[in-house]
Structure 1
Amino acid sequence: MAYIGWVCLLAFFFANVEIQIEGAQGWAAGLPTWRIEQHWLLDLFWGGRPMTGYHAWVFPFMLLFFHLPAFWAWQWNLRLEARILGSVMLFWLVEDFLWFVINPAFGWERFTPAHIPWHKSWTLGMPTDYVTFTIVGGALLWWSFRPSSRAAAPN
């Protein structure tokens, strides 16, 4: 549980960094960066959102950041990769949500599709990405923390 709390704390700090960078203009709308507004691959992999130079660099940076402990320890296995990927999904889910609720330009009241056009698909009152990341990221984290069958087997 402490690990999940740590990932959420990282998300809180990065949400505040992004609020300072983007202000009221989410999804790098006001940043001096390149943008690809429409492409069929964006619909397939990016939820229909534009690809920006900012996001093209920040997403792989965070993925590499979460892999850092594996490189320090010089260890890798499938459970560790599942934990890393689940953590990245949890991080982005929490970071994105916090960006809205603690951003003075948005807040809880404006957490709606009408005020957040870059989240094109909504499910159960939240961006569909949140549902997907909760299910997939949660499953990856659950599996990564589950005791292995070898550890449970008698000697």
Structure 2
Amino acid sequence: MAFFFANVEIQIEGSAGWAANLPTWRVEKHWLLDIFWGGRAMTGYHAWVFSFMALVFFSPLAFNGRWSWRDAALALAGVMTFWMVEDFVWFVANPAYGWAKFDPGHAVWHPHWLFGAPVDYWIGLGGAALILWLLHRRGGSARQ
């Protein structure tokens, strides 16, 4: 899914990442963006896309007719992993970037980097791994 969605975004955004050239509203600076959005601008495009993908990952809980914290945690880990992979594939598959331009000088919408990757990747990876570890530690079959 992440590969396909990244390619859709490449077709939509081209070389202008983070919806820079799209006809959408933007909030460039706000203290809440620093806390919840990694310091990046909030755009109408991203508000709708992120909401849509959250619904994609959480909709099985509604359509199955049952709810559990375990399933919700798995959906959260899934959507976190999806966005990390999708963002990375966007760079690697985008003809305007590629692996060579996966750095803070070219990906200016990722303002914070650590060990060669955006800090968001490390937070997402750690968060998803923590969720999966906690679920595995609890036995994996507990339904609440």
TM-score between the two structures when normalised by the length of structure 2: 0.93
Contact 1:79/1:143, CA 8 A, preserved across alignment: no
Shift of 1:142: 3.5
- C-alpha distance in 1, partners of 2:140/2:127? 24
> Are 1:94 and 2:75 counterparts?
no
Contact 1:66/1:84, CA 8 A, preserved across alignment: yes
User: 33, 36, 51: which is aligned to 2:24?
Assistant: 33
> Are 1:115 and 2:98 counterparts?
no
Partner of 1:77: 68
Identity %: 56
Contact 1:87/1:141, CA 8 A, preserved across alignment: no
Q: Rg bigger for which structure?
A: 1
Partner of 2:14: 23
- C-alpha distance in 1, partners of 2:45/2:30? 17
Partner of 2:52: 61
After superposition, the C-alpha distances for 1:45-94 in whole angstroms (9 at most, x for unaligned) are: 10110000000111111101111111111111111111000000000000
Structure 1: unaligned runs, 5 residues or longer: 1-9
After superposition, the C-alpha distances for 1:6-32 in whole angstroms (9 at most, x for unaligned) are: xxxx10010000000000000000100
- Over 3 Å counting, the alpha-carbon distance change for 1:112 and 1:72 in structure 2 is same
- C-alpha distance in 2, partners of 1:45/1:134? 16
What is the aligned-residue RMSD (CA, Å)?
Answer: 1.7
The residue type paired with residue 92 of structure 2 is V
- Over 3 Å counting, the alpha-carbon distance change for 1:57 and 1:107 in structure 2 is same
TM-score between the two structures when normalised by the length of structure 1: 0.87
Contact 1:15/1:99, CA 8 A, preserved across alignment: yes
The residue type paired with residue 28 of structure 2 is E
After superposition, the C-alpha distances for 1:115-150 in whole angstroms (9 at most, x for unaligned) are: 011000001110000000000012213334x27549
Structure 2: unaligned runs, 5 residues or longer: none
Partner of 1:13: 4
- Over 3 Å counting, the alpha-carbon distance change for 1:150 and 1:40 in structure 2 is closer
Shift of 1:114: 0.4
